[in-house]
Amino acid sequence: MIREVRNHLTNGIIPFWKSLRDNEYGGYYGYMGHDLTVDKKAVKGCILNSRILWFFSNAHTLLKNKALLSEADHAYGFLKEHCIDREYGGVFWSVSYDGKPEDVTKHTYNQAFAVYALSSYYEASRDPDALGLAKDLYELIETKCRDEGGYLEAQDREFHPAENDKLSENGVMADRTMNTLLHVMEAYTELYRVSGMPEVKASLEAILDLYSEHIYNPSRHRQEVFFDRDYHSLIDLCSYGHDIESAWLLDRTLSVIGEARYSERFSPVTKDLTDSVYRTAFDGHSLANECERGTVSDLRIWWVQAEALVGFLNGCQKDPSKEEYLHAARAEWDFISSYVIDKRKGSEWFPEVTPAGSPVPGAPLVEPWKCPYHNGRMCFEIIKRGIE
């Protein structure tokens, strides 16, 4: 599997995203339709460009290819010059194709991904300005994007509360979300890993406390997803992809901070999430999307399959007796390589396929949420973990 995944990374994912580089206006093109037509004047999501910066930075760190660092440099220049609000601070939600502010919402999730990307870029480039910008955004999140109860969601350009329509789904409007907290944790883990800042470690420990107190539901063996301000769950929803993703990301955070008391508290949590997803959502080949009020959405979403593969590998590494997880990871790769990877020249991964592997017609190949983050990270993890 490692050889096949490395080949796909170097000959599939990397060339695809390099081909979307915008040498005229900076950054990377923001939209490619299902027909592989690029809209060069589509808005450029700042999350998309942060994730591209993260991807090329980590690809360079892993593969030691200077051409990949050049791509990361290009993405960094666009983020620094166009996605950062020089007047009020923070990162815009999106900019126009030529780098002008488009949607000036300041979402905590978006700030976190910039911290994540800049931390990885610092590791790849050793540019102190990138680390300084990551630290500035960390301070901004801690001072403007949280309250006494935890992390906030959407705010306007000047950091006044705004409706959280961007990270609310399934008919609810959430004041707090599992998804934002998860990726603040992920970003801070990367920042702490490359900087060693004690205040970031303290923030991570506070996030882990929020997880155990409000997010993880031990009676239902899952995470709750959408909350009001006081952490009352707003909907009966199980997001299988987020549960398996959280299981291995929590383990990664625990490994990076190295605090035994948290590892002891969370080891049963991550094992439970992995086991529950395996038992309830994996059909022997691929992973269902989510279960809302008892009804399962069985679409096979690209990022869910990528996270399932890594999550099952992680579960097997934690407990080698769980050989079924290794079999599940291999089955996931077979499903991905057979059906999710688009074999058309100049393409990458289909966003959605049916359980039988047929692509959902019309879904774009690139848009603000469709990026090289989940599938690129899957490749990195498989290569670094060294499990065949």
pLDDT at 106 over 90: yes
Q: Are 212 and 224 in contact (CB under 8 A)?
A: no
Instruction: Write down the mean pLDDT value for the chain.
Output: 97
Q: What is the pLDDT of residues 11-37, one digit of tens each?
A: 999 999 999 999 999 999 999 999 999
The rounded percent of the chain whose pLDDT value lies above 70 is 100
Mention every residue, 6+ apart, whose C-beta is less than 8 A from residue 203: 138, 142, 188
pLDDT at 108: 98
Q: Are 368 and 43 in contact (CB under 8 A)?
A: yes
How many CB atoms are closer than 10 A to CB 165? 12
Give the pair of three-digit tokens for residue 10: 């170097």
pLDDT at 102 over 90: yes
Compute CA distances 194 → 131, 256, 265, whole Å.
9, 10, 25
Mean pLDDT of 65-77: 97
Phi-psi region of 37 (alpha: psi -120 to 50; beta: other; left: phi over 0): beta
3-state secondary structure the chain: CHHHHHHHHHHHHHHHHHCCECCCCCCECCCECCCCCECCCCCEEHHHHHHHHHHHHHHHHHHCCHHHHHHHHHHHHHHHHHHECCCCCCECCEECCCCCEEECCEEHHHHHHHHHHHHHHHHHHCCHHHHHHHHHHHHHHHHHCEECCEECCEECCCCCECCCCCCCCCCCCCCEEHHHHHHHHHHHHHHHHHHCCHHHHHHHHHHHHHHHHHHEECCCCEECCEECCCCCECCCEEEHHHHHHHHHHHHHHHHHHCCHHHHHHHHHHHHHHHHHHHHHHECCCCECCEEECCEEECCEEHHHHHHHHHHHHHHHHHCCCCHHHHHHHHHHHHHHHHHHECCCCCCCECCEECCCCCECCCCCCEECCECCCHHHHHHHHHHHHCCC
Q: Quote the CA–CA distance of 368 and 39 in Å, as a whole number.
A: 13
Out of 175-179, 233-237, 382-386, pick the least confident.
Answer: 382-386
Mean pLDDT of 235-252: 98
Compute CA distances 93 → 113, 134, 190, 384, whole Å.
11, 17, 22, 32
Q: Are 97 and 41 in contact (CB under 8 A)?
A: yes
The yes/no answer on whether domain 2-385 falls in CATH 3.90.1010.10 is no
Instruction: Please identify which residue in the block is written with the tokens 């996931």.
Output: 332
pLDDT at 163 over 90: yes
Q: What is the pLDDT of residues 269-314, one digit of tens each?
A: 999 999 999 999 999 999 999 999 999 999 999 999 999 999 999 9
Q: What is the pLDDT of residues 352-367, one digit of tens each?
A: 999 999 999 999 999 9
Q: Quote the CA–CA distance of 152 and 147 in Å, as a whole number.
A: 7
Sheet of strand 94-95: strand arrangement = 44-45, 94-95, 101-103
**Residue 386 banded pLDDT, cuts 50, 70, 90:** confident
